Amino acid sequence: MQSVSQSPTEPAFVQNPYPFYARARASGDLVFWEEFNMPCATTHKAVHAFLRDKRFGRECPAELSAKPPLHLSDFYALESHSMLELEAPRHTRLRSLVLRAFTSRRIKELAPEIEHLCHSLIDAFPEDAPFDLLPSYCTPLPVVIICRLLGVPEEMAPELLKWSNDMVSLYQARRTPEIEQTANAAARDFAAFMRSYVDKRRQSPADDLISELIAAEEDGAKLSTDELIATCILLLNAGHEATVHTLGNGVKTLLSHGGLVADSQTVEEILRYDPPLHMFTRYAYEDVTLFEHSFKRGDQIALLLASSGRDSAQWDTADKFDPARNVSTNHAFGGGAHFCVGAPLARLELLIALQTLHARCPNLRSAAPSEYANLYHFHGLKTLMVST
Ligand code: HEM
């Protein structure tokens, strides 16, 4: 396996990681990324294979998992009950409880509400001065919708957003002791809020996800209180972070490619071309040789989802944004056992948000160059200045 070197915090890489991915793919299906000290799957074929291989998973093998450092204990206490960090049988039990609430009927029913929210956000756009579309549109839309779906007061949105941003910053390559402390404090405060809110909600069930999860918890066998808290927090965090970035990246791409016209195919192309989450890791659960590399139990591999989307063995003219492209088996939402639970919701939000924005602001244009934030493996903009 060839080695490649690239700092994930280097400014040029943060702004445009795709040339590095092209180099990595040219070096093989698997390359050793020195800065992450692990092999990476670079091609569509390799990412696809690892996502679906049951001999690999997200949960660290028990004999290898070290006790988390004290200053991150609140963060890892939540993670230890999060379905995203677990494998079967706990993962299957938690995921099936959540999936019950994400039926396609329930998601479709949200369409009028999403559209109404888009209109009210657009009503508040300033008329003559350039403004940042991220806080005005891209961020509040998914945050408010996930609050409503769960049944959390949407007045809490700014607070939830802060806790969520602080927590997920622990996953980025640019990690400092200060970021760690802030992430741990956010996990502690978020969990304390959810615990007291769940207690309050026990007396007043409604037609929302929290009520369903509380019923499952009270049943005893299905969900522990810690799992209930961790599941709510995972959904609130995952339910907006990636959608915010995708909407921002998508508007930026569309504006520089002739305009905001979008259908569901365009949404898939945005997710292929400039996805919000670039890398996820897996542990090997047994000694196994794949793509000519021998893994020992406990070895890690990084899956470069964003590199897979630009693989010219899978897509013609892969570096070209083509809204009419028929994108299938794109890995922006992952694949296999952890395939994104919220994909149907995210797709619906993105489609309605882009179409409503186009209908209401047909002359929307970029008002300043936009930069990506230094948050790898996240890939989203710092600001998106536009004028109507
Ligand atoms: C464009 C928006 C989104 C993208 C690109 C995205 C992407 C992903 C990816 C790549 C994974 C799998 C990670 C892995 O395999 O290691 C994932 C998992 C997950 N996502 Fe999303 N996501 C998005 C929106 C959402 C939304 C709106 C929700 C919730 C309402 C959500 C909830 C989840 C959950 C709960 C998981 C964990 C699933 C499991 O472990 O079984 N996501 N997402």
Note the pLDDT of residue 163.
Answer: 95
> Residues 297-353: pLDDT tens digits?
999 999 999 999 999 999 999 999 999 899 988 999 999 999 999 999 999 999 999
Rounded Cα distance between 196 and 216, Å, is: 18
Cα of 322 vs centre of ligand 1, distance in Å, is: 24
Model confidence pLDDT, tens digit, residues 215-234: 888 877 788 999 999 999 99
d(CA 8, CA 258): 31
Neighbour count for residue 92 (Cβ, 10 Å): 13
Query: What's the 326 CA to ligand 1 centre distance in angstroms?
Result: 22
Cα separation, 366 vs 265, whole angstroms: 23
**Residue at token pair 């002739």:** 258
Closest ligand 1 atom to 276 CA: 5
Atom of ligand 1 nearest to the CA of 234: 35
State residue 346's pLDDT score. 97
Predicted local confidence at residue 66, as pLDDT: 85
Q: How far is the CA of 251 from the centre of ligand 1 (A)?
A: 21
Query: Which pLDDT score, from 0 to 100, does residue 31 have?
Result: 98
CA-proximal residue: ligand 1, atom 36 (nearest): 340
In the chain, where the domains are located: 2-387
Question: pLDDT of 90-113, one tens digit each?
Answer: 999 999 989 887 888 889 999 999
Q: What is the pLDDT of residue 366?
A: 96
Cis peptide bond upstream of 377, omega within 30: yes
DSSP 284: E
Give distance in angstroms: CA of 241 to centre of ligand 1. 10
pTM for this predicted structure: 0.96
243 C-alpha to center of ligand 1: Å?
10
| Residue numbers of the chain with a pLDDT score lower than 70 | none
What pLDDT is attached to residue 218?
81
Query: Which residue has the CA at smallest separation from atom 27 of ligand 1?
Result: 239
- Percent of the chain whose pLDDT exceeds 90: 88
Identify the residues whose C-beta falls under 6 Å from ligand 1: 58, 83-84, 95, 146, 234-235, 238-239, 242-243, 246, 275-277, 280, 305, 332-334, 338, 340-342, 345-346
Atom of ligand 1 nearest to the CA of 349: 27
Domain 2-387 CATH class label: mainly alpha
The Cα-based distances of 44 to 306, 358, 379 in angstroms read: 9, 32, 19
The pLDDT tens digits for 66-79 are 888 999 999 999 99
Contact 221, 93 (CB under 8 A): no
Ligand 1 mean position, distance from CA 270 (Å): 16
pLDDT, residue 341, reads: 95
